[in-house]
Structure 1
Amino acid sequence: MTKQSSSKAIAHDICLTLQNAGYEAYWAGGCVRDQYLGLHPKDYDIATSARPNQVEALFSKTLAIGKSFGVIAVIEDKIQIDVATFRADAPYSDGRHPDAVTFCAAAEDAKRRDFTINALFYDPISKKLIDYVDGMADLKAGLIRAIGTPLERFQEDRLRLLRAVRFSHVLSFHIEPSTRQALEQEASMINAVSIERIECELTRTLTESQNPGDALHTLQTVGLLPEILPEVSRLIGVEQPPDYHPEGDVYTHTRMMLNQMKDVSDDSGFTQLEIAYAILLHDISKPDTYALHPDPKTGGKRIRFLEHEAKGAMKADAILKRLKIPNRQRQRIVDVIANHMRPFRATQMRHSTLRRMMGAPTFPLLLELHRLDGLGSRGLLPSYSFLHKAYHTFKEKPILPKPWISGRDLIARGMKDGPALGRLLSRAYDRQLEEKEPNREALLHWLKTHQK
């Protein structure tokens, strides 16, 4: 039994236990929406008329994860199901949490939720849908509609501004006009939300959307992107050399790359988050490095972005720190941004330089970024095809084998420790990688003639 099917079975049994005790109990929110869309719910939430202490009394293992808001987690077979008492919320003075909650009937609970498609209940025992907000009609029509007065819903919790965009692009739905109007009106207040919550929602938008580049554009057009990532908004209108980038400006190029992103498998060597942010930020310093330089071929001027990868890596690092991306992932993203122009020169590289690049832990991420860099412009690049073939050829043996010669070998032969020793070791390792010497003994012989 899969975890999804186990969660479903446990959520069914929790509802049955609650109903047998005389309470209303339904599946609620996203799991109901996803079920009717033919998707596999990631988790199951339950809404009930039982009060928190009554829920705790019915189940042997519980966690009071949000008891003041009526939420108790029930644990069965290491699977957690959140069980929430039907509630109505007082005003949200902090823009996130209600000042107080009162327990109520199911209909009132549905009306305090964010969007109609997320306010559906389903009784897994009677197999009946309970719909107090016409959510099923919007589900069938493919609409994201705020419940009640849209502006009030967004002001209660401004994270809903980002959630509206995410749902629209994950589900390929449209945002209903009055909801979109309120979203645009309230977008400038998004930074009232904590950066941790913004990052989580932004990351899900970039990694779960059907076409992340289109989602990015919606964030821009409703006014959210200039607030949370003004550096990305600045890519709009930054022209590029048309012979290299016929698609247009840097922003268009970035959007096209995001739309070409595919699901990452477990053995890819990188995560969906890493490739999404590497794409988003790989050209982030092009606005700062844009310059017209003399073109000796035409006698005119040509656009160049000198050192944009190095400057972009520093800028990306600051942005990722601001978003509080985990350190290891941040460092990997920054590394590939700093090196993302190197693959273009792959066919001219020395054998040893090529192998050093391919042996880096971040190379799978760099190679995927290079693939998408081409697809976001003229199409798959010859340098990508070359690298892809070379990488899979070398993967059959160690790309970076253990060096035959160590510093101790040179010191034993009378060489002093220092920079000169390091340079000679590097040259020796290059010869090993380039297979210019067949074995350690031959390499030692070469060293005798080059050791100073």
Structure 2
Amino acid sequence: MLPQPVEYVLERLENAGFAAFAVGGCVRDTLLGRVPGDWDVTTAARPEQVLALFDGCAIPTGLKHGTVTVRAEGMGIEVTTFRADGTYTDHRRPDAVTFSRRLEDDLSRRDLTVNAMAMDRRGQITDLFGGREDLKAGVLRCVGDPERRFREDALRILRTLRFAAVLGFAIEPRTAAALHETAPLLKYIAPERILSEMDRALCGGHILPVLLDYPDVLAVFLPEIAPCVGFDQCNRHHIYDVWGHSAHAAAAIAPEPVLRWTMLLHDVGKPACFTRDEQGVGHFYGHPAVSAELAEGACRRLRMDSRSAERIVTLVRWHDRDIPRTDRAIARAVGKLGEDVFRQLLAVKRADNAAQSPDDRHRLADIQQAEDILDGLLARQQCFSLRDLAVKGGDMAALGLRGREIGDMLRALLDAVLDGAPNERGSLLALAREKMS
């Protein structure tokens, strides 16, 4: 059940007289039949003893908290001394830790029962809090008092939601109630850590119920979504309120962070743009631009990398744009966005449509037609941008153009190609001379 490097570390610790166990997520995943992404070991050995025992292949990565990383056969294994945590005044890390000789002390400080199991090198499981039973039942339950667990370390709030989204487990009632109660403590968590947990949660295969059941938790760091919750769209095209639509749309798109963030934020501007016509039908004129502005603020607040943020904002701004299904219109859109972004836009439109009324599913045919046109243009090697143009700046300079005149002429020639003119050097030079005359 254990990889050879992990068994080696456990055996060497045991032979030196120290109790040692694989612990936490690696045990959980092993019992679920999954391949763990990494392996953690907990031991009675003190950090300095671990360093001495694995001299030459151990790195003191977290001595304050008792952690040493041992390199074995190319694998990095975190080895941490049994410990009991002190008080948590910053709602993130203990002010101090006390090293222990007892495995029970170490397991009792962990967040969820399914993460509080240990396994020795023979495969024997130590489960003091019913983790195996909860694993079999598909339940997430805190070790001890859930409110205390979340107040100690508020990141556990998002970790719990992430496990629910990834594993598809139900959150037991007391733990769920504590999530809602302690959600405001997320303001103590660094934006980068929030983003990391959210990226993984959003890409979980069971994200929909998490989004629907815990918008108040997410709104602590995404206040843009709060007005969307329960906001009736008053429109026959929609069977969900704004938040319900966004949640279903996020779950309907491929599990990639940029795409899921796009769907989560694509309609956050709707409440601010809501109007009713004389028949009482709701409309949201201008909401893509407002949503894009709000999405940009959210991405900045979460310290998202600039490339991802720019892509999300672009997709939000374009998500509701009606692009005619013609060669010219598709070519112009691809020229502005690029092929990759345009294909993502089509995915966004599909997910948006999937979260609307079933009566509107006919729009999927329009989206497919747009993709078919794109494929045809690519097959014919259509020119979409200045980079693809058969003439360059040097050609324009040879005609006598200077400075801004060169860029202006190249853009005019690109427009002509997008309108159907052949992308051939001789034809474009002739057209340029004609425009100059």
Selected match of 2:220 from 227, 248, 258? 227
Match among 226, 239, 244 for residue 252 of structure 1: 244
**More deviation in 441-450 or 249-258?**
441-450
Equivalent in the alignment of 1:409: 395
CA distance in 1, matches of 2:4, 2:159: 28
Pair 1:217 & 2:212 matched: yes
Moved more, 359-368 or 381-390: 359-368
Q: TM-score, normalised by structure 2?
A: 0.90
Deviation, structure 1 residue 157: 0.7
Deviation at 1:425, TM superposition (A): 2.9
Equivalent position of 2:436 in the other structure: 451
Opposite residue 95 of structure 1, the aligned amino acid is: H
Q: Tell me the matched-pair count.
A: 428
Query: Contact 2:71–2:77 (CA<8 Å) still a contact in 1?
Result: yes
Q: In the alignment, is the contact (CA less than 8 A) between 2:234 and 2:281 conserved in 1?
A: yes
1:282 equivalent to 2:292? Answer: no
Unpaired runs of 5+ residues, structure 1, are 264-271, 295-299
Separation (CA, whole Å) in 1 of partners of 2:400 and 2:289 = 39
Measured in 2, the distance between the counterparts of 1:52 and 1:313 equals: 49
Counterparts of 1:168 and 1:352, CA distance in 2: 42
| Residues 63-82 of structure 1: CA deviation (Å, up to 9, x unaligned) | 21111111111123442110
Summarize deviations over 1:108-155 as a string: whole Å, max 9, x none.
11111111110001113x221111222112111222111122222111
**d(CA) in 2 for partners of 1:149, 1:218:** 21
Corresponding residue to 1:198 among 190, 194, 197: 194
Q: Which residue of 2 aligns with 1:392?
A: 375
Equivalence map 1:133-144=2 (5 Å): 133-144=129-140
Give the share of equivalent positions with the same residue, in percent: 32
Tell me the SS of whatever aligns to 2:374. helix
The amino acid that maps onto 1:384 is: I
CA distance in 2, matches of 1:159, 1:438: 55
Return the match for 2:233 from 237, 240, 250: 240
Which of 118, 123, 126 is matched with 1:121 structurally?
Answer: 118
Of 297, 300, 314, 1:321 maps to: 300
1:277 to partner: Cα distance: 0.9
Structure-2 change in CA distance of 1:231 and 1:360 (3 Å): same
AA of the residue aligned to 1:195: P
Runs of 5+ unmatched residues, structure 2 = none
Q: 2:109 aligns with which of 90, 108, 112?
A: 112
- Cα distance in 2 between the residues matched to 1:438 and 1:187: 58
Q: Which residue is 2:88 aligned to?
A: 92
TM-score by length of 1: 0.87
Aligned: 1:38 with 2:33: yes
Alpha-carbon spacing, 1:99–1:246, altered in 2? closer, same or farther (3 Å) = closer
Whichever residue aligns with residue 278 of structure 1, its letter is: T
Equivalent residues of 1:352, 1:430 under 8 A apart: no
Q: What is the Cα deviation at residue 106 of structure 1?
A: 0.5
The residue identity in structure 2 corresponding to 1:182 is A
1:292 is aligned to: 276
Local SS of the residue matching 1:437: coil
Match of 1:51 in 2: 46
Matches within 5 A, 1:124-203: 124=121, 126-203=122-199
